[in-house]
Structure formats: C-alpha cells, structure tokens
C-alpha cells in the first residue's frame, strides 16, 4: 500500500487514542508561549496537521480572539478538533495541498506533521507556508531529529503502522533560510516513549521578514 495512504488510515483510526494521550500534555506549552509572544491578539492562524486540536485549544485558551483555521488529513481528527475548538474553522485537507488555500495568515503552526512527510514534501510545505504568511508572519514547526536513513514504518501498541520520517535540523534550516525565514528559536525537548527510550523533539519558530520576495 502507498506509504502515505497507510499513514492516513492509521491516524484516522487512532484519533480517539491520540486525543486521550496528548490533549492535555504540557511538555510543549513553553514553545507555544514563545509563538504567542510574536502574535497580535486578533491574529489569523493556520494550523496544519492539527490532530484533535490540542495546540489550537491551548492557543485559544491563552489568546481567545485568535482566528484559527485548522486542517488535518484525518476526518476523525477534524471531528474532534472542531468539538474541542468551537470557535475555530476545522476541515479535512492534505498538507500537500495547502497551496490551494486562498487566504493569508499571521501565523502557521505545524505540530509534528512533517514526521509524516518526505524531505521533498517538507521542502514544498515550507515554501507553501512562506507564500501563505503575511509579512512578519510566524511559522511554528516541530519534528523529530534523527537520521533520515532511519525513516520507515513504525507500529504502536495497536499494531497499526505509520511511515515515520526523521528530519535533520541542518536540512530544515537550509530550506527555511532559502525561503528567507529568520530563525527566532530552536528548542529541544527530550520525549520519553512508552518503551522507556528517549527521542529528541525539536521545535523551530521562524519569521517571514518584511519584503522577503
């Protein structure tokens, strides 16, 4: 089966379990705070790969006037995201299609979406985000640091698989700089997996400067 198709089906199946485990995780809250520091109270945000809307819920609790459009490939995730964030506009979309969006945004959040995108698709996503941002717009993007050669299928406790892509900061940084993003923050978090092993999670926050075209 196509790698992406299996990944999408797994996410759709595991939406409820993901919500149970991650809806109230506070590990990344300080990184959301750094992102919020760059936003005006009424900013228009796009969230890509929003899952059950856990990040949107945190952002809206802190800044209730934000106007959030949130998308995800999984209809079940979108159902949960909409329930968890009645004021947001949540809809199904593949992150590879965001260039079709006709609005501009002051901020874009992509929380652990690129672990499910290949390097070329990630490069396109960064480019598309640049086009969708207003001047001074801010991009939040998180990923799992690792050797891209170790990318492959991963199965969780249910046995369902996703194709998981490790990304290297130096490659992502080069993509962002090529699109004239100014890197504001790079934060690392140590994440303990169920099996006791630790992963390095990285969060980059970058700004699209004025007149970057």
Ligand X SMILES: C[S@@+](CC[C@H](N)C(=O)[O-])C[C@H]1O[C@@H](n2cnc3c(N)ncnc32)[C@H](O)[C@@H]1O
d(CA 123, CA 117): 9
Tell which one of 22, 166, 169, 191 touches ligand X (CB under 6 A): 22
Nearest-approach distance from CB 50 to ligand X, in angstroms:
5
Tell which one of 38, 72, 106, 128 touches ligand X (CB under 6 A): 72
Q: Is residue 82 close enough to count as binding ligand X by CB under 6 A?
A: no
d(CA 32, CA 52): 16
Nearer CB in complex with ligand X: 13/177: 13
Which segment (73-81, 133-141, 174-182, 197-205) binds ligand X by CB under 6 A?
Answer: 73-81
Q: Quick one: CA dihedral 88, 94, 95, 98, positive or negative?
A: negative
Tell which one of 19, 31, 54, 202 touches ligand X (CB under 6 A): 54
Tell which one of 19, 31, 58, 74 touches ligand X (CB under 6 A): 74
DSSP assignment of 37-85, as one string?
A: TTS-TT-EEEEES-TTTHHHHHHHHH-TT-EEEEEES-HHHHHHHHHH-
Which segment (92-100, 150-158, 182-190, 202-210) binds ligand X by CB under 6 A?
Answer: 92-100
Nearer CB in complex with ligand X: 18/181: 18
Helix (H, G, I), strand (E, B) or coil at 104: coil
Tell which one of 55, 126, 132, 141 touches ligand X (CB under 6 A): 55
Token pair in block for residue 98:
């965001």
Distances 110 to 26, 33, 41, 61 between C-alpha atoms, Å: 17, 15, 20, 18
Nearest to 64 by CA among 78, 46, 85, 34: 85
Distances 42 to 68, 91, 99, 109, 138 between C-alpha atoms, Å: 10, 21, 23, 16, 14
Nearest-approach distance from CB 23 to ligand X, in angstroms:
9
Nearer CB in complex with ligand X: 121/212: 121
Helix (H) or strand (E) holding 127: helix 119-132
Nearer CB in complex with ligand X: 49/107: 49
Q: Is residue 191 close enough to count as binding ligand X by CB under 6 A?
A: no
Nearest-approach distance from CB 106 to ligand X, in angstroms:
19
Nearer CB in complex with ligand X: 77/204: 77
Q: Which residues bind ligand X (CB under 6 A)?
A: 7, 11, 22, 49-51, 54-55, 72-74, 77, 94-96, 111-113, 116
């Amino acid at each position: 089966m196509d790698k992406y198709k299996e990944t999408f089906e797994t996410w759709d199946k595991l939406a409820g379990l993901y919500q149970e485990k991650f809806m109230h995780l506070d590990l990344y809250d300080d990184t959301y705070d750094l992102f919020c520091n760059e936003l005006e109270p009424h900013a228009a945000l796009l969230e890509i790969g929003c899952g059950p809307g856990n990040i949107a819920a945190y952002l809206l609790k802190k800044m209730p006037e934000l106007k959030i459009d949130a998308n995800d490939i999984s209809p079940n995730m979108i159902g949960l995201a909409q329930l968890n964030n009645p004021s947001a506009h949540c809809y199904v979309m593949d992150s590879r299609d965001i260039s079709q969006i006709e609005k501009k945004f002051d901020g874009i959040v992509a929380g652990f979406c690129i672990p499910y995108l290949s390097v070329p698709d990630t490069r396109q996503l960064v480019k598309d985000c640049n086009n969708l941002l207003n001047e001074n717009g801010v991009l939040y993007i998180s990923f799992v640091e690792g050797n891209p050669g170790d990318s492959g299928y991963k199965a969780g406790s249910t046995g369902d698989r996703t194709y998981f892509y490790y990304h290297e900061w130096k490659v992502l940084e080069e993509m962002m700089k090529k699109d004239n993003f100014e890197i504001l923050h790079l934060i690392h978090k140590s994440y303990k997996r169920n099996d006791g092993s630790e992963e390095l999670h990285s969060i980059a926050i970058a700004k699209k400067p004025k007149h970057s075209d």
